[in-house]
Amino acid sequence: MKKAYEIADRLMEWVSDLLLRLTGSPSPVWDRIVYGVLVFVIAIVVGRILRAVVIYVIHRVARYRGSYLLKSLVEAHIFTRLTHIIPPLVIVALLPFAFHGTPAFLKLIEKLCWIYILGVIVFSINTQLSVFWKFYSSRTALRNRPMKGMIQIIKGLLAGFWVIVAVSILIERSPMALITGLGAFAAVLMLVFKDSILGFVAGVQLSQNDMIRNGDWIVVPGGSVNGIVIDVSLDTVKVQNFDNTIVTLPPYSLVSGEVQNWRGMTEAGGRRIMRSFTIDLSTVKFCTPEFLEKMKEIDVLRDFIEKKEAQQQRGVVENTQNSEGLVNGTIETNLGLFRAYMTLYLQHHKFIGGQMILMVRALDPNDNGLPLQLYCFSTNTDWVSYESIQSEIFEHYAAIMPRFGLYPFQNPSSRDYINAALLTAGHHPDELWGIPFGTMRQAAPSTAKPASSATPPQAPQPPIPPK
């Protein structure tokens, strides 16, 4: 302070001498005006010089030894903004020596300078928070944490703090007294800013409870939201649907309503497959020894059938949780054997998770037959790959089913009615062809084969996918 007084005193003397030489008579008013202008010029020049020095030093350090965080601070001009506090500090230090006789004007200038200094500090901190968010979201281990809403909350609190302190400086009252006075308007503020307050609270809940992250696949039942979250902020959540449309939601709608988040599926590494065929109950039969011998031609079933037959001879019936580690299923019926085959098929499939639930089960029978369901998990959760794996399994499911003497239920079509009528009329099945027109083959009656001589083609060995 003593140094500042000496500088101001010498500066004031120099201004007085200069004006005295120019005008020939002393003028205190002009002395103060010129001194004030000179103080502002000096403040700006000193600020510019210090800013240039600081920027030069920081850039050199950041270029050769700086970390990624320091380089980010330099790119955001944090240090440049902080140098803006130099000019008002110079003004506060030097100006009082010229205007000590006008306290009202001097006090106003000082108030504005301190408000400006406080604003520079607050908004520099907000910029640092933005840099911190950028640095935070770039880290692989921290990328999925929804911190954007919390950063916005802190920024808003700091801005509100600056406004309250600035007003308290202007009116010369304590900030706490000002806050107490604002409490009377709380009811009005809650009515006017109801949506903003709800969004604020919901944004905090989403961030704190880690309910939604960028990149999550969410579905809002009964709504038009079914896609990937691309942005989570304090007042909005943006979702890009799979048809590439963008849906913007208020956060409180996700907190107060039902939201399905598929993040657990991705983190677990398994996407559920749960589909079924309805089997015609009239095709479910008991297995004969001849049928079992024929089924032994399928490599994956041979060991299962032989071990089950050996257990039967010993009087052991373990169709569930078999002591020899056999899959659930039976050799009593073709359906039970088919369940065992499909379980073995899924166990050998390289894209089906063996550590997750895997079963082939019969559901409640209905008017159309007996639904047989596959319940398992694909280790590939990508949508396109998942659908391909699921389709491959059910294509094999449908193709191998007749090998076991089982047939799916299917509503009759016009072809079925025409063929049924032709068979009723005495035509041989080999004569039936085409749908629905051109149904009869142009064959002479003498060339028609008797029904007893018709032999079905031998079914090929079903492929088992490698593990």
Long-range contact list for 59-63, CB < 8 A, 24+ apart? none
Distance CA 73, CA 155 (A): 17
CA distances from 5 to 25, 110, 130, 324, 389 (A): 25, 17, 40, 98, 84
Given pLDDT bands bounded at 50, 70 and 90, which one contains residue 140? low
Sheet holding 271-279, edge to edge: 271-279, 370-378, 359-362
Output the pLDDT for position 449. Answer: 43
Given pLDDT bands bounded at 50, 70 and 90, which one contains residue 462? low
Give the mean pLDDT of 82-110: 74
CATH code, 208-268: 2.30.30.60
Across 22-26, 106-110, 191-195, 426-430, least confident range: 22-26
Give me the percent of the chain exceeding a pLDDT of 90.
Answer: 25
- What letter does residue 249 receive in the DSSP assignment? E
Give the mean pLDDT of 390-403: 93
Q: Where are the alpha helices (DSSP H) in 84-221?
A: 86-94, 103-138, 148-171, 175-182, 186-192, 194-208
Give the mean pLDDT of 364-388: 92
- What letter does residue 332 receive in the DSSP assignment? S
Q: Where are the alpha helices (DSSP H) in 172-288?
A: 175-182, 186-192, 194-208, 251-256, 263-268
Region at 222 (left for phi over 0; alpha for psi -120 to 50; beta for the rest): left
Delimiting residues of CATH 2.30.30.60 domain(s) in the chain: 208-268
Distance CA 461, CA 413 (A): 31
> Could you read off the pLDDT of 54-90 as tens digits, one per residue?
777 777 776 666 666 676 777 767 777 777 888 888 7
Across 188-192, 226-230, 270-274, 282-286, least confident range: 188-192
- Tell me which amino acid residue 186 is: A
Closest to 389 in 3D by CA, of 325, 346, 435: 346
Given pLDDT bands bounded at 50, 70 and 90, which one contains residue 451? very low
Tokens of 436: 């629905």
Output the pLDDT for position 317. Answer: 78
Sheet holding 260-261, edge to edge: 246-249, 237-241, 226-232, 217-219, 260-261
- What letter does residue 270 receive in the DSSP assignment? -
Across 16-30, 119-133, 307-321, least confident range: 16-30
Whether 119 contacts 162, CB under 8 Å: yes
Output the pLDDT for position 433. Answer: 58
Residue 70 sits at the vertex; the CA angle it makes with 64 and 76, to the nearest 5 degrees, is 120
**N- to C-terminal Cα distance for the chain?**
83
> Could you read off the pLDDT of 256-278 as tens digits, one per residue?
888 899 988 888 889 999 999 89
Output the pLDDT for position 454. Answer: 42
> Could you read off the pLDDT of 161-216 as tens digits, one per residue?
888 888 888 888 877 777 776 666 666 767 777 777 777 778 777 777 778 888 89
Top pLDDT among 464 and 338 is at: 338
Distance CA 337, CA 319 (A): 10
Given pLDDT bands bounded at 50, 70 and 90, which one contains residue 446? very low
Distance CA 379, CA 80 (A): 52
